[in-house]
């Protein structure tokens, strides 16, 4: 049986990274902030933040990066490490299972190192508490013994920088949030920036691509670099097999149509979600759990993976009474919009 996670992983436009493409993505990753395309506000602030620390001769303060999957949080963490000339150690919230795991990571760091914790919202509460003195005082508190005779031993840690990344800022506790010197939010990219990323990456891959072809791929890449890179890779395969390897507009369109990704980047699952909402629930409002049951998707995947892009497109609204399909969604999928619908953004 295919589980939900496999389902999501096999999806051509999933913003989640699958294991094979990690190496591919790594090879395309920009190393300097000036090569990082888009997210101008973040770049400007980050540049000042890094320069100020460099002037003081100190490591930068802890940084929190948040935004939807695939927008380049990991890439940015590597860039920060590179620009600050520090080593980067990468881990994830769910893989740190015991306080001892975190203690081992922290005691192996050196001054100026970057510790990158992806999915930091999934860190267990007890482990999170070990992070507080580590972040604030560069100290690790070890409790020796039990009961009334228990003692706390404080170990000094090197002056490191923690970079936390999360797709769910609302799940970060206030004490953890407050210990970050800066928080940067990554937004969905403009299509123009996605197009530039595609052109840059095609060049790195030594694949010839027309401007019109990169524009076609960009339009369907859900404003997400990871999706753009995956589509580029598939279109490149298609060009190598069906033609001479050069990606033209016609060829890109053929490849993308074969992958059943429409001109806005919606795939079969997006269409299923919206069609279910429209045909079974008259466009909503409907609760998240009902929508999950009716579409056979997990609530968490709906919230974190599918919905953000549908909301961004203006196809779905999260209202206090539940999810609603907008007039734009009705029209895009070929349904007649309801005339008496109280859809605040479009009617
Ligand atoms: N790869 C992932 N995100 C990127 C970005 N913002 N610029 C260039 N390449 C990227």
Secondary structure, 3-state, 219-268: HCCCCCHHHHHHHHHHHHHHHHHHCCCCECHHHHHHHHHHCCCCCCCCCH
Decide: helix, strand or coil at residue 114: strand
Give yes or no: 74 in active site. Answer: yes
Cβ neighbours, 10 Å, residue 284: 23
> What is the rounded CA–CA span in Å between residue 142 and residue 16?
36
Give yes or no: 336 in active site. Answer: no
Candidate list 11, 29, 74, 219, residue with the active-site label: 74
Residue range(s) of every CATH 1.10.10.10 domain in the chain: 268-343
pLDDT at 340 (0 to 100): 60
pLDDT at 12 (0 to 100): 82
- Do 273 and 306 touch, CB atoms closer than 8 A? yes
**Number of residues written out for the chain:** 347
Decide: helix, strand or coil at residue 64: strand
CATH superfamily of 39-185: P-loop containing nucleotide triphosphate hydrolases (3.40.50.300)
Task: Give the DSSP letter of residue 157.
Answer: -
- Do 164 and 180 touch, CB atoms closer than 8 A? yes
Q: In terms of C-beta distances under 8 Å and separation of at least 24 residues, what long-range contacts does 239-247 make, across chains too?
A: 239/207, 245/207, 245/208, 246/207, 246/208, 246/209, 246/210, 247/202, 247/207, 247/208, 247/209, 247/210, 247/213, 247/214
- Which residue blocks in 243-347 are alpha helix, DSSP H? 249-258, 268-281, 288-295, 299-301, 307-312, 327-332
Which secondary-structure segment (H or E) carries 180?
none
Task: Give the DSSP letter of residue 35.
Answer: G
How many alpha carbons lie under 13 Å from residue 189 in its C-beta half-sphere? 28
- Do 301 and 8 touch, CB atoms closer than 8 A? yes
Residue range(s) of every CATH 3.40.50.300 domain in the chain: 39-185
pLDDT at 346 (0 to 100): 45
Give yes or no: 35 in active site. Answer: no
pLDDT at 345 (0 to 100): 47
Residues with CB under 6 A from ligand 1: 29-30, 36-38, 72, 75, 197, 225
pLDDT at 112 (0 to 100): 96
> What is the rounded CA–CA span in Å between residue 344 and residue 18?
37
**C-alpha torsion 269→272→273→274, nearest 10:** 120
pLDDT at 79 (0 to 100): 98
* Average pLDDT along the chain, 347 residues, taken 10 residues at a time: 58 79 85 97 97 95 96 97 96 95 96 97 95 97 89 95 96 97 97 98 96 97 95 96 96 94 93 97 96 95 92 96 97 88 47
pLDDT at 3 (0 to 100): 53
pLDDT at 305 (0 to 100): 87
Q: Full-prediction pTM beyond 0.75? A: yes
With the most atoms of ligand 1 within 8 angstroms of its CB, the residue from 67, 75, 230 to mutate is 75
Give yes or no: 118 in active site. Answer: yes
Identify the sign of the CA torsion 227, 232, 235, 237. Answer: negative
Q: How far is the CA of 127 from the centre of ligand 1 (A)?
A: 32
Residue range(s) of every CATH 1.10.8.60 domain in the chain: 191-258
Helices 225-242 + 249-258 axis angle, to 10: 110
> What is the rounded CA–CA span in Å between residue 132 and residue 139?
9
Identify the sign of the CA torsion 42, 191, 20, 268. Answer: positive
Decide: helix, strand or coil at residue 3: coil
> What is the rounded CA–CA span in Å between residue 31 and residue 227?
20
Q: How far is the CA of 7 from the centre of ligand 1 (A)?
A: 26
Task: Assign domain 191-258 one CATH number from 3.40.50.880, 3.40.1010.10, 3.40.630.20, 1.10.8.60.
Answer: 1.10.8.60
Distance of CA 216 to the CA centre of its chain: 22
> What is the rounded CA–CA span in Å between residue 208 and residue 218?
16
Which CATH number is associated with domain 268-343? 1.10.10.10
Q: How far is the CA of 66 from the centre of ligand 1 (A)?
A: 15
Q: How far is the CA of 79 from the centre of ligand 1 (A)?
A: 11
């Amino acid at each position: 049986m295919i589980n939900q996670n496999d389902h999501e992983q096999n999806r051509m436009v999933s913003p989640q990274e699958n294991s094979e493409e990690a190496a591919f993505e790594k090879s395309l990753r920009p190393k300097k902030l000036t090569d990082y395309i888009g997210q101008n506000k973040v770049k400007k602030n980050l540049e000042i933040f890094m320069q100020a620390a460099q002037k003081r001769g100190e490591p930068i303060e802890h940084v929190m990066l948040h935004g939807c999957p695939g927008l380049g949080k990991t890439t940015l963490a590597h860039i920060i490490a590179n620009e600050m000339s520090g080593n980067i150690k990468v881990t994830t919230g769910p893989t740190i299972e015991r306080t001892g795991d975190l203690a081992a990571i922290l005691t192996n760091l050196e001054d100026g190192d970057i510790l990158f914790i992806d999915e930091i919202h999934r860190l267990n509460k007890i482990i999170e508490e070990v992070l507080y003195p580590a972040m604030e005082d560069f100290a690790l508190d070890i409790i020796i013994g039990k009961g009334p005779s228990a003692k706390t031993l404080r170990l000094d840690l090197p002056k490191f920088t923690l970079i936390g990344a999360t797709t769910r800022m609302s799940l970060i506790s206030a004490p953890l949030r407050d210990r970050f010197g800066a928080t940067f939010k990554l937004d969905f990219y403009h299509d123009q920036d996605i197009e530039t990323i595609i052109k840059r990456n095609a060049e790195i891959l030594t694949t010839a691509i027309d401007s019109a072809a990169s524009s076609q791929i960009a339009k369907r890449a859900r404003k997400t670099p990871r999706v753009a890179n995956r589509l580029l890779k598939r279109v490149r395969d298609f060009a190598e097999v069906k033609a001479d390897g050069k990606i033209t507009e016609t060829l890109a369109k053929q490849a993308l149509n074969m992958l059943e990704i429409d001109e806005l980047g919606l795939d079969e699952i997006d269409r299923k979600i919206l069609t279910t909402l429209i045909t079974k629930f008259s466009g909503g409002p409907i609760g998240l759990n009902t929508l999950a049951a009716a579409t056979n998707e997990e609530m968490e995947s709906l919230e974190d993976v599918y919905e953000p892009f549908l909301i961004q497109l203006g196809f779905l609204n999260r209202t206090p009474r539940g999810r609603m399909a907008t007039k734009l969604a009705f029209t895009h999928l070929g349904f007649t919009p309801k005339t008496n619908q109280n859809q605040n953004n479009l009617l």
